[in-house]
Amino acid sequence: PMLDYQKDSIRSKNFMEAANAVMPGGVTANIKYFDPHPLAMKEARGSKVIDMDDREYIDYVMGYGALVTGHGDERVKKAMTEYIENHGTWLFGTPHALEIEMGKRIQTHFPSMELLRYTNSGTEATLLALRMAAAYTGKHKVAKFEGHYHGGYDQMLVSVSPSMKEAGEEREPNSLPESKGIHPSHLRNTVVLPFNDLKACERILTEHRDEIGAVMIEPIQSGFIPPDLSFMKGLRQITKELNMVLIFDEVKTGYRTCLGGVQSIYGVTPDLTALGKAVGGGFPFGVVGGKRDILMQSAPSHGSDVFDASQSKNKTAQDVLFHSGTYNGHPMILAAGMAVLDILEKEMDVLLQRTNQLKQGIQEIFDRYQVNGKVIGMGSIFSVVLSPKGKIRNYRDLQKSDLATRKEIDFALLKRGIYLKPLNRYSVSTAHTEEDIRTTLTAYEEAIKEVYGG
């Protein structure tokens, strides 16, 4: 039966009212909110989520991409429980075996990571990468791309405002605060570049060549807008020439575009890479890896005799790049991450094939109903953009697309048991079956008919 959003999600609505008394806006992350109220979930298995009103949906949010093997995968669960049984604890706070094992396996897929460090989120990974770049180059300004997300901290919450009014020229975007409370210094220290526009990037970066030490990019914008190959190659070349550390934020795309991320598809090697989401299998996790010289800055002293202070070759704090964290390299999460990798190494082909089936099916529906819709993305993440424009190349193209109708389609899909946070991207998992894909496509056609009155 079709959902009447307000009537059939009454428990979610009541829940959100109660949640408002505990948390601002009733949510623990702003992204979880949407009007008129989000659906609150109570159970999820495999590809499905069940909300508080007992309605079942095929889930395409998948923990914002983190659950690449679906909800509650038994193999991941087993790896974690066995770890506790075999080792007696879930946290050492010392070096331990999985730190190397997991690292070596990540390196087989990301050979650019000559050395790596673990963090507890994608946010921490990009933050650490920026510190490493600043220390390495001695240059403290950073460049990022308009509309790219790297985590919710001040330095990177600089680029776009919802009203594109103050956004500036397309080829020279302004630095704008994306939140209240951002210190104005960040607007000076974070330079915003236009994605997919090599000439403009070259001009802006050259202008700031003595100040910018790092260029961070989502190599596929928002996980679904791919760059031109010439843009990626050119950016690699320019950053090298200008002594800037090129950082690929592959938090969304790692393990998802393909196991080795966008860098393996494009054959462009960054100096540093940040990973998160899928790599931690749905647990808080991140990785920073890259060039040996850059990573080695955070190595504490080696070869010093700690028992003889007078002989100590300990570096002073200023000589070492600080990186610590109570939970870094958490054994349970590494165990989960290894299990995810085991699964993906076997099932990646099927996952990509299923996603393609879904993407092609949706595109075919758009074409058949003569809707200006495009399915874009690579690997197991994609999105749907409604726009008469030929190719979606950057954030501004996306903002100019028909977001209102896209939202209507998303609600029409929700009514039919397809869960996606309105306007978000689709993340497919190895738990999605062929039947899920067929069910989704049937719902999609119905949704298009409803929205376009076909």
Question: 128 or 242: whose CB is closer to ligand PMP?
Answer: 128
User: CA–CA separation, 19 vs 25, rounded Å?
Assistant: 8
Looking at beta carbons only, is 195 or 444 nearer to ligand PMP? 195
Annotated catalytic residue 255: no
Provide the minimum distance between the beta carbon of 121 and ligand PMP in the complex, in angstroms, as a whole number: 3
Query: CB of 284: closest distance to ligand PMP in angstroms?
Result: 7
- Can you tell me the distance from the alpha carbon of 142 to that of 117, in angstroms, rounded to the nearest whole number? 21
> Which position among 51, 53, 249, 410 bears the catalytic label?
249
For 35, 81, 138, 339, the CA distances from 281, given in Å and listed in that order, are 29, 15, 35, 8
Query: Do residues 143 and 216 touch, judged by C-beta distance below 8 A?
Result: yes
Q: Cβ 222 to ligand PMP, closest distance in Å?
A: 8
Tokens of 252: 């969304």
Closest CB 181 distance from ligand PMP, rounded Å: 18
Which residues form the interface with ligand PMP (CB under 6 A)? 64, 121-123, 126, 149-151, 218, 249, 251-252, 276
Kindly name the residue from 149, 266, 395, 426 that is annotated as catalytic. Answer: 149
Catalogue the E-assigned strands of 61-140: 115-119
Q: Which among 172, 97, 185 is positioned nearest to 141, based on CA atoms?
A: 185
Q: Is 67 or 371 the residue whose CB approaches ligand PMP more closely? A: 67
Residue with smaller CB distance to ligand PMP, 63 or 373: 63
Q: How far is the CB of 23 from ligand PMP (least distance, A)?
A: 18
> CB of 262 within 8 A of CB of 386?
no
Q: What angle do CA 23, 185, 290 make, to 5 degrees?
A: 85
Q: Catalytic residue at 249?
A: yes
Q: How far is the CB of 280 from ligand PMP (least distance, A)?
A: 8
Both tokens assigned to 253: 């795309």
Closer residue to ligand PMP (CB): 255 or 444: 255
CA distances to 46, 163, 258 from 379, rounded to whole Å, are 19, 31, 6
- Distant-in-sequence, close-in-space partners of 252: CB < 8 Å, separation ≥ 6: 65, 218, 220, 222, 223, 277, 381
Q: Find the angle CA(127)-CA(132)-CA(138) to the nearest 5 degrees.
A: 120
376 within 8 A of 226, measured Cβ to Cβ? yes
Question: One of 13, 48, 252, 277 is an active-site residue; which one?
Answer: 277
CA 202 to centroid of chain Cα atoms: 26
Query: Toward ligand PMP, which CB reaches closer, 122 or 270?
Result: 122
Active site residues: 149, 249, 277
